[in-house]
Amino acid sequence: MSTGTAPRTRPDVAQPRLGPLGWLRWTWRQLTSMRTALFLLLLLAIGAVPGSTFPQRSIDPARTAQWIADHPTAGPVLDRLGFFEVYASPWFAAIYLLLFVSLIGCVLPRTRILWHQVRSAPPRAPRRLERLAAHRMLEVEGDPEQVREALRGVLRRRRYRVHAHDGQTLSAEKGYLRETGNLVFHVALIGILVGVAWGHLLGWKGDVILPVGKTFANTLSRYDTFSPGPWVDVNDLAPFTIGLDRLDVEFETQTQGAGQFGAPRDFEASTTFTPPDGPAEQRSIRVNHPLETGDGTVFLLGNGYAPTITVRDAEGTVVYSDATPFLPQDDTYTSVGAVKVPGASPQQLGFAGFFLPTGVIDDERGPHSVFPDLLDPQLALTAFEGELFPSGRPQSVYSLDTEAMTAVPGADGADQLRILLRPGETYELPGGRGSITFDGVERFAGLSVRTDPGKSLTLVAALLSLAGLVASLVVRRRRVFVRVGPGERPGRTVVSVGGLAKDDDEGMPDELDGLLTALEGTR
C-alpha cells in the first residue's frame, strides 16, 4: 500500500557530478540565454547612469578635479571605482563584452533553427481539423482535385508557403518574417555594440573657443579639450585649418510674445577652411549644419563674447593682452570669466567677474545683462594676487582658483577692489600694481570637432533593429491546413480548413473566412 511519500534517494548510489567540461557548458548556456542578455542590457543602461551624473575626466578634467576636491570623502572613493571615467572603466567594459558574447550566443542557434525551418516543408495536416483553434467547413462546386488546386493558388496569393503531403490535404504557413525580424533585431544590437566600440577606439573629440579673426589649426596643442580614443594617434591628425572671419548672431528685438524678447534667431559662422591637400574655401557653419572636413565634423555648439583686455605693469610694459572668452550664463548673455596674468610682478594677478553685453547693476541682482546684444557692454571685475596655479591642478579657463590668492584691497579702503569698465576705459590698480584696459569686444564661436568612424555602422544597425523589432511585433506566424473530400452530391466538394498561430492571434478566424471567400470567388 502506498504511503504517498516521495521516494528517497538511496545513500549508496552516487549522484552524478558535473566535471569541468560540464560546468563550462552550463555556464555557456546561462550566459547565452535570453534572460541573461536582457539582464546585461539593463545592467549596461544602469552602468551608464554615472556617466551622465558625474563629471567625466575625459570631457572636463578641471570640473572633475574640482568635484573631487569639493567632496573629499566620496570623491576619492568614486574615483577609485571609475565613476569619473565610466566608459573606460574595467567594470563597464566587462558588462559590454559579456553582453556582446551573450548576444552572439543567442543569435547563432536562432539562425540555425530559422534556416532549418525555412528549408523544411510545413508539417502534415492533423487528422481532425475541427480540434484546432480556428476551423471552418464549406461545400463548394467542383471535384476535390480542382478545389485543392484552387486553394493552393489562393494560399500562394496570400503569401503562404504551400506543400501537399498527399492528394487530399494541403499544409501552408507564413510569417517567417517574424522570426527573421527578431533575428535581425538581435544582429543589429550586435552591430550597434560594434559601431559604438569602433567609434570609441578610433574616434576622438576636441573643443576649441575661436574668437573672430583668429585661425585654428587641427593640432593637439590648439584644442582647449581633447578626448582621443585608445587607438588614436594624436600626432597623425589631418592638417586642416579653420579661420573664423565673421560670426553673425541675430536676436529677437520685438516685445510681442512672452519670453521671446532677446531669444536667439540665427547663428552663422563664416569661415575660411583650408583642407590638407587643397586651396582655401569659404564655408559657413550653422546650428545643425556642420562643416565636413574629411577628418572630422565641425559643429557650432555655442557663441559668446571675448573682451579684449590689456594688463600693464607699473612701468607700462604689457604683461597680458588678448581676447579673453567669457562664458554665457543665461539667455541675456550675462557671462563669467577670468583673466590670469602669470607674468605680473611682484605677485601674479588674477581678475574674475562678469562681462555684460547690455549691462545693468542693481542692489538686488548685482551686475547682469538685460539684452544679449552689445548695446551697452560693461566689464565688472574683482582683482586678486598670489599664486594662480596652486599644486598644479587643472582648472577651468573661465574661473579663478583663489585658494592661494588674496583679494586686492580697494584704494578707498574697501576690503575688495571692484572694477567697472566700458570699452576704451583704463583702471589704475592701487599699490603700483599697474593698470587694466578694456580695449573692445570680439565674438567667439564654440567649435567642436568630432570624428566617429563607427557612426555609419551604428546608424544602419539602429535602423535595422527598429525594422526588425517592428516586424517581430506586427507579423503573425500562421499555419493553415486544408482537407478536401467528396460532397454528398456528385460534383460537390467538402472543404475543411483549420488554422494555428504561434501566439494568441484573434485574427485567425477572419483569415480562414477570407480564404474561403477568395475560394468562392474563383469558382
Q: What percent of the chain shows pLDDT beyond 70?
A: 93
Model confidence pTM above 0.75: no
- Partners of 379 in the beta sheet? 355, 421
Looking at every residue in the chain, the average pLDDT score rounds to 87
C-alpha separations of 284 from 119, 242, 249, 264, 267 in Å: 56, 11, 13, 18, 10
User: Which residue type is seen at 277?
Assistant: D
8 Å CB contact between 358 and 376: yes
Range in 154-158, 261-265, 353-357 the model is least confident about: 261-265
Per-residue pLDDT at 16: 58
Q: 129-174+476-522 — its CATH code?
A: 3.30.310.80
- Mean pLDDT is lowest, of 9-23, 157-171, 318-332, for 9-23
Q: Which helix (H) or strand (E) holds 169?
A: strand 169-174
- The residue ranking higher by pLDDT, 521 or 482, is 482
| CB within 8 Å of 122: residues ≥ 6 apart | 161, 162, 163, 171, 172, 173, 479
Q: Would you say 506 and 512 are in contact if contact means Cβ atoms under 8 Å apart?
A: no
Query: Average pLDDT for residues 155-167, to the nearest whole number?
Result: 90
Report, as an integer, the average pLDDT of 479-493: 88
CB atoms near residue 305 (< 10 Å): 25
pLDDT given for residue 2 in this prediction: 44
What confidence score (pLDDT) does residue 255 get?
61
Q: What is the DSSP string of 472-501?
A: HHH---EEEEEEEEE-SSTTEEEEEEEEEE
8 Å CB contact between 244 and 210? yes
Please, is 155 exposed, middle or buried when counting C-beta atoms within 10 Å of its C-beta (0-12, 13-18, 19+)?
buried
Residue type at 367 in one-letter notation: P
Model confidence pLDDT, tens digit, residues 312-351: 999 999 999 999 999 888 888 999 999 999 988 888 999 9
47 or 4, higher pLDDT: 47
- Asked if 507 and 135 touch (Cβ cutoff 8 Å), the reply is no
Cell of 104: 552572439
Contact 197/231 with Cβ under 8 angstroms? no
Q: In the prediction, which pLDDT does 425 show?
A: 95
Nearby residues of 329 by Cβ (< 8 Å), 6 or more positions away: 335, 336
Query: Is a pLDDT exceeding 80 seen at residue 196?
Result: yes
pLDDT tens sequence across 235-262: 889 999 999 999 988 877 766 555 566 6
Report pLDDT digits (tens) over 423-476: 999 999 998 899 999 999 999 998 999 999 999 999 999 999 999 999 988 888
pLDDT of residue 18: 64
Summarize pLDDT for 92-130 with one digit per residue, the tens.
989 989 998 998 888 888 888 888 888 888 899 998 898
Q: Are 491 and 143 in contact (CB under 8 A)?
A: yes
385, pLDDT greater than 90: yes
Q: How far apart are CA 259 and CA 465, in angstroms?
A: 41
- Say how far apart CA 67 and CA 50 lie, in whole Å: 14
Q: Are 216 and 185 a contacting pair, CB within 8 Å?
A: no
